[in-house]
Amino acid sequence: MAHEQSNGANRAVDLSHHLNLKIRSRHPSPLKDIIRLMSMEGMVSLAGLPHPSLFPVHTTSVTSSDPSASTEIELKLSNDQKIPLSAFFQYGTGAGNAQLREWARDFTQLIHQPAYQDFNILLHPGNTNAWGKVVGLLCEEGDYILCESYTYPSAQAYWIPQKNYAAPIAMDGQGIRDHILEETLKAWDTTHPGVRRPHVLYLVSVGSNQAGVTMGPERRRKVYDVCVKYDIIIVEDDPYSFIQYPEQFLSSLAPSFLKYDYQGRVIRLESFSKTLAPGLRLGYFIANSMLAERLLRATEVETQDPPGLSQAVVLSLLQNWGMDGYLTWLQNLRLEYQKRRDWMIDAFAQHFRLVGASETPQLETADGLVALMGDVPVFSFVPPTGGMFIWAKFHLSQNPAFKKMQFDGTVDDPEQAFAGSLWARFAEELVLLTPGSYYHPWQGQDKITTKARGAEPETTHFRFSFSMTTKEEMALGISRLARVVRLSWEV
């Protein structure tokens, strides 16, 4: 399509009809106007702010890694610099430090190459908070939100009290399936009479938290085209964008939806949590000018700026490293996580026989690899192409304890009941997994059982994380898990 080749020549279309009633009513904070005017040359301010000489911290230093060497770099932050440390401790405008936003804009142009030109950058205190602001921007009470068939629990923990609901879209090895998305939207008025059709799609399209799958370019084009056809805002939550495992780093990375966004309908949530450190609580929105301005209005009265010291440290680090240094850091980071992923798969292979899903025709819905103990299939998984997790589907049809629970009829949801007992047995053996139930999209109180959700019977999921443990700890944990499996499956 011609618009995809424009690389920024387009302008965002008017999407103001997506704003909810509350956000339309927001006005600029008058106090932020005061702060903006204070920066004018020659201004004598009698409007009042804490005097920077009374801030107790005047100098600080941070020792950082050198991305291209096994040495360390000392970064000194003081009040004697061009932007004094005290400026980061003062009240800000809500948008965040201008130099850091300019760096983020240059990085976005270089890496993501948005297909329209009038996008803005706004700093935020982490993607979880950022998503909360987006829900507050776009969703009214009772709205449904399109999402992956298993979705990030903190994201929906925000929308559930807002009385919003999930409209889950089936996934495969590349994330949500575009034709299922279109079928869902096309049939909405029939399947949900009297309920407004969803107009927001939330997804983690790289190394998805939980499944670890990454959406390729062609699928992204198709999903984007469906969203244009049905007037959907795409919220791309992408903390794992640079923890992908292609052969070549930059040239083979899955592109952001921004690359295809010639209408400005993507709100991208960028974060330094996985690339630098989660405790920084720092990231940024990339959104069209209208949406960014409304997000700024919410920021002014909800959170103000992200932590000033975090902004100072990150800006100093990125300026010292330079763009090439940061990219070197990211490349080394993804190689480390790829190595850890391989450790975990090797640990599986030490205790289970791994075969391709095509070799187990009795498991019609298995993808990727199947882990067997003897000839009994226990779980299947798709080796992740990004992120920090392996999403394992446990197949329960040959587990004696589950079969007894299933046919006794003593519990309403045998899959979930068995998953809870199995998780507890893992924990008793000192191996901790994340239950798949945390990722069930909230569709209302009447859709909480496996059957009511229309989920696959006789299966349950667990998420394995390979980000924290050493190779030795990982091997120990998988050996403990295999011991529980052997006893439970009686093999």
Higher pLDDT, 480 or 33: 480
Is the separation of the CB atoms in 345 and 383 below 8 Å? yes
Is the separation of the CB atoms in 204 and 257 below 8 Å? no
Beta bridge partners of 343: none
DSSP conformational letter for 103? H
Residue 4 has pLDDT above 70, yes or no: no
- Residue 388 CA to residue 27 CA, distance in Å, equals 40
- Positive/negative CA dihedral, 255, 257, 258, 262: positive
Tell me the per-residue pLDDT of 17-62, one tens digit each, with 9 for 90 and over: 998 888 887 777 766 777 778 878 888 878 777 888 888 988 999 9
pLDDT band at 7 (very low <50, low <70, confident <90, very high): low
CA 16 from chain center: how many Å? 25
The predicted pLDDT at position 2 comes to 39
Residue type, 350: Q
Distances in Å between the Cα of 36 and the Cα atoms of 39, 104, 366 are 6, 21, 57
The predicted pLDDT at position 65 comes to 92
pLDDT band at 5 (very low <50, low <70, confident <90, very high): very low
Tell me the per-residue pLDDT of 402-416, one tens digit each, with 9 for 90 and over: 999 999 888 899 999
Neighbours of 196 (CB within 10 A): 12
Mean pLDDT on 452-478:
95
Is the separation of the CB atoms in 131 and 202 below 8 Å? yes
Residue 436 has pLDDT above 80, yes or no: yes
pLDDT band at 81 (very low <50, low <70, confident <90, very high): confident
- Residue 198 CA to residue 235 CA, distance in Å, equals 13
- Residue 384 CA to residue 338 CA, distance in Å, equals 9
Q: By mean pLDDT, which of 37-41, 326-330, 407-411, 457-461 is the weakest?
A: 37-41
Q: For residue 172, which phi and psi values (nearest 5 degrees)? A: -135, -155
- Give the up-direction half-sphere exposure of residue 339: CA atoms within 13 A in the CB hemisphere: 10
Tell me the per-residue pLDDT of 83-101, one tens digit each, with 9 for 90 and over: 889 989 988 888 999 999 9
Mean pLDDT on 302-316:
92
DSSP conformational letter for 116? B
pLDDT band at 1 (very low <50, low <70, confident <90, very high): very low
Per residue in 307-317, is it b (16+ CB within 10 Å) or e — as a string?
bbbbbbbbbbb
Residue 8 has pLDDT above 60, yes or no: no
DSSP conformational letter for 25? T
Burial class (CB in 10 A: 0-12, 13-18, 19+), 30: exposed
Mean pLDDT on 385-389:
91
- Residue 187 CA to residue 177 CA, distance in Å, equals 16
- Give the H/E segment covering residue 453: helix 450-453
Is the separation of the CB atoms in 95 and 110 below 8 Å? no
Q: For residue 488, which phi and psi values (nearest 5 degrees)? A: -70, -40
Is the separation of the CB atoms in 461 and 436 below 8 Å? yes
The predicted pLDDT at position 265 comes to 98
- Ordered by where they begin, the domains of the chain are 30-36+48-327 (3.40.640.10), 352-489 (3.90.1150.10)
The predicted pLDDT at position 228 comes to 98
Strands (E), 66-148: 72-78, 119-124, 144-148
Is the separation of the CB atoms in 367 and 172 below 8 Å? yes
Q: Retrieve residue 184's tokens.
A: 């869902």
Q: Retrieve residue 179's tokens.
A: 């034709």
The predicted pLDDT at position 69 comes to 83
Summary mean pLDDT of the chain? 91
Residue 221 has pLDDT above 70, yes or no: yes
- Residue 459 CA to residue 360 CA, distance in Å, equals 15
Angle, vertex CA 306, rays to CA 331 and CA 257, nearest 5: 50
- Positive/negative CA dihedral, 354, 357, 362, 365: positive
Q: By mean pLDDT, which of 44-48, 100-104, 225-229 is the weakest?
A: 44-48
pLDDT band at 67 (very low <50, low <70, confident <90, very high): very high
The predicted pLDDT at position 6 comes to 47
The predicted pLDDT at position 418 comes to 97
pTM for the model: 0.91
Beta strands 165-169 and 144-148, pairing class: parallel
Tell me the per-residue pLDDT of 141-192, one tens digit each, with 9 for 90 and over: 999 999 999 998 888 888 898 899 999 999 988 999 999 999 999 999 999 9
Is the separation of the CB atoms in 300 and 130 below 8 Å? no
Total residue length of the chain: 491
- Residue 481 CA to residue 415 CA, distance in Å, equals 19
